[in-house]
Amino acid sequence: MKTTVALATALVVAGWCAAAQAQLVPAPPQMSTPAGAPAADLQTALGANPLQGSVPSGPATPGLLRLSLSDAITRALKYNLGVINGEQDIQEARGARRQSLAGLLPNLSTAITDTEQQTNLEAYGFPPLPGIPQIIGPFNAFDARVFLQQPILDFPAINRAREQARKLSAARDDYRNARDLVVLVAANLYLQTVAAQSRIDAALAERKTAQALDTLAVDLKTAGIAAGIDVLRAHLQLQVQEQRLIMARNDFDKLKLQLGRAIGLPAAQAFTLTDKVPYAPLQPVSLDAALTRAYASRGDYLAAEQRVAAAEAQRRAALSERLPSVSVNANIGDIGLTVSGARETFAVAGSVSVPLFTGGRIAGALMQADANLARQRAQLANLRQQIGYDVRTALLDLTAAQAQLTVARTAVALAGQELQQARDRFSAGVADNVEVIQAQEAVATANENYISSLYAHNMAKASLARALGIGEEAVESYLGGSR
């Protein structure tokens, strides 16, 4: 039976791990998934989730690659599709900001024309006059000119540039948030794969015990001490352990594939995990300190603040459409019948544009800006509440997982003693092997609960680092390693 914390963890994060949409890690039935997952990351982590994908780092290398937790995180931060998408989002935001700045900077262009033309004076309103031909030409016209447009005072352009600057800051914060999520994904997959390896080790030990008890049952039956049904029970229990071992190996192999895919390993790359990630206690963290750190560090929260500021700039840009704008247009160049006969001319014009009636365009733009601002403020308020929930949940999960781990460790020792005593009673002929089979199942359950509790404890620590917004810098130290 699963431990309570492992089951709670599975229920919370089965739907979570954000920014991106296919399950994050389809865990085998006996495995739990990380707790305390922010609901803001729910849509990011479900569906066609880029955090599950990567750009392969190249062809497979010969031999067996030794992969530590630190190696897995480093590769994920380089090759995971979520990180790559975040980098491109920043580039797009930079491009949009540069386009918005163009409305404030000089626009300089040049043009050279050389025209051969013939003109009908009557078409321009000149009546036929005696002695004057109505058709003039053909004649040549050459013009080489430089044009300059310079806004002097353009409040909408100024506010649009501020809006795009805020959106660029939001894209950078989203990128930090994506890196934190990628770290959590890589750590989660690594821990699940380690747990799967532990299940294989436990299944191998349980199969070895079942083989020994099967041999013992056959020997006791031969000696006339045990009944034939005891042998059948022992044979059946051995087959049960074989089945568990097959399932454990299959789960392990699938999780290795998922881990390799998320961190950019070639599909054919053979690798082995070097870190076992044992139990390591975490220093207590106060709720107030954790919330303060989360609000100051969470990339998604900082990005939401920047989006509110961008929406405010968008609203100011809509309002400022009602204000006059001032600009200068100038040109200078040579014009004449031929290139050699061209003479310099220029023109400079200053203009003031005052909107009088825009057909409701400004009012419509203001309505859209108000709606966007209200939406962004609501999302920021909701995210602040969500972060409080994330931090509290992570702390509760950590406390419960630590307590469950202590209980699970004791249960493993007690189940081992029960199995030894049941085996001794069966060997002495004072009991059949029903007690032995029950004790074997108790050992299997205790081992599974311990593996699940250890995984839940480590993922609770990783989820706390994520909830605080310090996943990239702290997740390995939280798990008892170093980076």
Overall average pLDDT of the 221-234 stretch? 90
Overall average pLDDT of the 122-128 stretch? 83
- Using the predicted structure, report yes or no on whether residue 33 has a pLDDT greater than 80: no
pLDDT score for 237: 93
* Contact in structure between 429 and 34 (CB atoms under 8 Å): no
- Using the predicted structure, report yes or no on whether residue 29 has a pLDDT greater than 60: no
Which residue from 40, 368, 54 is spatially nearest to 174, judged by alpha carbons?
Answer: 40
Which residue from 387, 463, 466 is spatially nearest to 33, judged by alpha carbons?
Answer: 463
Point out the least confidently predicted range of 26-30, 188-192, 243-247.
26-30
Residue 354: count of CB within 10 angstroms of its CB: 8
* Contact in structure between 20 and 51 (CB atoms under 8 Å): yes
Over residues 307-341, the pLDDT tens digits come to 999 999 999 999 999 999 999 999 999 999 888 88
- At residue 429, the 3 state secondary structure works out as coil
Q: Which helix (H) or strand (E) holds 170?
A: helix 155-222
pLDDT score for 32: 37
pLDDT score for 4: 40
pLDDT score for 246: 97
Domains of the chain: 4-99+162-316+362-478 (1.20.1600.10), 105-153+322-353 (2.20.200.10)
Please say whether the dihedral angle defined by the alpha carbons of residues 277, 280, 283 and 287, taken in this order, is positive or negative: positive
Percentages (nearest 5) of helix, strand, coil residues in the chain: 65, 15, 25
| Exposure of 420 in the CB half-sphere (CA atoms within 13 A) | 6
Terminal C-alpha separation, the chain: 36
pLDDT score for 337: 86
Mean pLDDT: which of 48-57, 172-181, 471-480 is highest?
A: 172-181
- Using the predicted structure, report yes or no on whether residue 73 has a pLDDT greater than 70: yes
pLDDT score for 432: 85
Mean pLDDT score of the chain: 87
Over residues 421-436, the pLDDT tens digits come to 999 999 888 888 899 9
Over residues 378-418, the pLDDT tens digits come to 999 999 999 999 999 999 999 999 999 999 999 999 999 99
* d(C-alpha 8, C-alpha 457), whole Å: 12
User: What is the pairing mode between strands 135-153 and 107-120?
Assistant: antiparallel
Q: Which helix (H) or strand (E) holds 150?
A: strand 135-153
DSSP 54-110: B---SSPPSSPEEE-HHHHHHHHHHHBHHHHHHHHHHHHHHHHHHHHHTTTS-EEEE
- At residue 366, the 3 state secondary structure works out as helix
The DSSP 8-state label assigned to residue 353 in this structure reads E
- Using the predicted structure, report yes or no on whether residue 22 has a pLDDT greater than 60: no
- At residue 115, the 3 state secondary structure works out as strand
E strand residue ranges, 188-324: 271-273
- The amino acid at residue 240 is V
Residues in the chain: 483
Over residues 170-223, the pLDDT tens digits come to 999 999 999 999 999 999 999 999 999 999 999 999 999 999 999 999 999 998
Looking at per-residue confidence, does 46 or 425 come out higher?
A: 425
Residue with tokens 């900082």: 302
Looking at per-residue confidence, does 95 or 276 come out higher?
A: 95
Band of residue 48 on the pLDDT scale cut at 50, 70, 90: low
Burial of 129 (0-12, 13-18, 19+ CB in 10 A): exposed
Q: Residue 288 contacts by C-beta under 8 Å, 6 or more apart in sequence?
A: none
Over residues 336-383, the pLDDT tens digits come to 988 888 999 999 999 999 999 888 999 999 999 999 999 999 999 999
Band of residue 10 on the pLDDT scale cut at 50, 70, 90: very low
Residue with tokens 């050699």: 340
User: What is the pairing mode between strands 325-336 and 135-153?
Assistant: antiparallel
Band of residue 249 on the pLDDT scale cut at 50, 70, 90: very high
Overall average pLDDT of the 148-161 stretch? 93
* Contact in structure between 245 and 258 (CB atoms under 8 Å): no
* d(C-alpha 82, C-alpha 413), whole Å: 43
- Using the predicted structure, report yes or no on whether residue 38 has a pLDDT greater than 70: no
Distances 19 to 86, 180, 184, 212 between C-alpha atoms, Å? 9, 11, 13, 52
* Contact in structure between 163 and 100 (CB atoms under 8 Å): yes
* d(C-alpha 125, C-alpha 131), whole Å: 17
* d(C-alpha 80, C-alpha 320), whole Å: 43
Over residues 455-469, the pLDDT tens digits come to 999 999 999 999 999
Over residues 292-310, the pLDDT tens digits come to 999 999 999 999 999 999 9
Over residues 78-123, the pLDDT tens digits come to 999 999 999 999 999 999 999 999 989 999 999 999 998 888 888 8
Looking at per-residue confidence, does 15 or 454 come out higher?
A: 454
* d(C-alpha 267, C-alpha 251), whole Å: 17
Band of residue 20 on the pLDDT scale cut at 50, 70, 90: very low
* Contact in structure between 269 and 65 (CB atoms under 8 Å): yes
pLDDT score for 7: 38
